[in-house]
Amino acid sequence: MLNISILYGLAGIAAQLLQFFTLPIYARNLTQAEFGIVAILESLLYLCTVLLTFSIERAAQRFYFDKSLTPKRVFSSALIWLVASGVVWFGLAAIVEATGLLSFYSFPGGGALLIVLGAWASGVCGLAIVYFQVTERPIFFNFLNLIRGISILGLAYFLIEVQKKGVEGYLWSITAANFLAATFSLLLLRKNWQFRFNPPLLREMLKFSSPFVPTMLGAWLLTMGGRFFLSTYSTLEEVALYTFLSKVSLAYFMCATAINTALSPVLYRILAENPNAKEVSLDILRPVVRIYGLGALAFIVIAGDLGELMGGGVYELPPILLSLIIVGHFCSSVMGGSSDVLLSYFKKTKLQMYAFLAGASLCILLNLVLAPTLGVAGILLATTSSLVFIIGCHWVLISRMSLPSVPVRDVLGWMLTILLLGLIIAHFKIEFLGVGIGIRVLISSLLLAFALLTLSGMKTPRTHLDRTSAS
């Protein structure tokens, strides 16, 4: 079952790589100040998506596995919510435009409307992707991921590099690409959903997903809030440097996220058959943590070359800062593939919310202390420390509730190894990395090969659903 699910992850990697390749387009055609504005707009788009969708796709994924409900009712209720919420938010965006509340940061005219439209379209596409994931339809799942990735890359090239539209081109490219993907989503789903309003079910779904909203807001503060602190205490150029560093490191995080996308339904099915499957979950999670760790080490080795390639040498990426941000991504990846899934399955979403809000509060405090003096380094220290704190909270919660365990020792060991490698590369930069890019690529390839061997060797027990299908 896991081997089949990996196909979903590979499509996610391919789609996100296409979006990752927009980074050189931004770096070549936008000034650092313009890139800083794009970073702020990107943060607002993420924030708007969270508030508009209310994380309804997470509720749809979880309620799909309730045997008393039909998938059509679950996903139709989620779509009805997205339509109603989109209308309300579009009205709010019109008010914002009319009153000029987004005139700061030199935002282009109509920016608020484009952000809301892009967020709504992203929510519709995200819901469809979840539907095709849980119903095991890899062709449609892969198609939607790839069409959005290709569209973002193509439109960014045309509007920013060819037409020289700058920040305005970024907004239009993201919005148009999301709308194209949302259109295909609705066309593909029109024969699969039962459009019938079910108020009690929708209330239950919103009750389940509501704790995810402050959770995602906390995640927003952790991953994107630093841009606003830098814009306050520093310059847009510093925002651009921090954003460039974050985007380069996403080459690692998006691969881990794709694996989590493939892993979540597998764990849901295993837990649905045996909620006390502690050993089973550890048999899956230990190799996954190892894969994340090996991938992190592989990325750090070649990150400097990747940053130079993507930014044309404009942005310098110190290895120790890369190690800090990768430790944060590693923590997020581990949570996304283990404790988040466990807490969501057992409907402990309020506890997830409390943990993330506590982490976000810690992050704000640390940012206020560190950002004015340390700049980008202070933001990274604040974010990574807060993510480590959250994963520690998750472990405590899971242990006290006697839920299937998380290999916390493995996680701590890999975190220390990632930091140590960054220190080694920073200290022995000339001796170790001066021998050439070929050696660095070879080392990185070997580490990735070990990760792929671990991935290919993973096996999961057959659930009752699998045995029924086989018979």
Q: pLDDT truncated to tens, each residue of the chain (471 aa)?
A: 445 555 655 666 666 677 678 888 888 888 877 887 888 888 888 888 988 998 888 888 878 777 666 667 788 888 888 989 999 999 988 888 777 666 555 567 778 889 999 999 999 998 888 888 777 777 787 788 888 888 989 999 999 999 988 888 999 999 999 999 999 988 887 776 666 667 888 888 888 888 778 877 777 777 777 777 777 777 767 777 787 877 777 778 777 777 777 777 777 777 777 655 555 566 777 888 888 889 888 888 887 777 777 766 666 667 778 888 888 888 888 888 777 877 877 777 788 788 888 888 898 899 888 888 888 888 888 888 998 898 888 888 877 776 666 778 888 899 998 888 877 776 565 444 455 677 778 888 888 888 878 766 665 555 444 433 333
- CA 411 and chain centroid, separation: 19
CB burial string 246-260: b at 16+ within 10 A, e below: bbbbbbbbbbbbbbb
Query: Both ends of the chain: CA-CA distance in Å?
Result: 15
d(CA 432, CA 424): 9
73 burial via Cβ count (<10 Å: 0-12, 13-18, 19+): middle
Instruction: Check residue 34 and give its pLDDT.
Output: 83
Instruction: Check residue 13 and give its pLDDT.
Output: 65
Instruction: Check residue 183 and give its pLDDT.
Output: 92
Instruction: Check residue 380 and give its pLDDT.
Output: 87
Name the nearest CA neighbour of 154 among 132, 180, 129: 180
Instruction: Check residue 118 and give its pLDDT.
Output: 92
In sequence order, the 6+-apart residues with CB closer than 8 A to the CB of 252 are 295, 296, 299, 326, 329
CB 163 within 8 A of CB 29: no
d(CA 341, CA 335): 8
d(CA 270, CA 264): 10
Residue 177: CB atoms within 10 A of its CB come to: 25
CB 215 within 8 A of CB 51: no
One-character DSSP codes across 313-376: TSS---HHHHHHHHHHHHHHHHHHHTHHHHHHHTT-HHHHHHHHHHHHHHHHHHHHHHHHHHTH
Instruction: Check residue 392 and give its pLDDT.
Output: 87
d(CA 139, CA 355): 36
100 burial via Cβ count (<10 Å: 0-12, 13-18, 19+): exposed
Instruction: Check residue 155 and give its pLDDT.
Output: 92
Instruction: Check residue 2 and give its pLDDT.
Output: 47
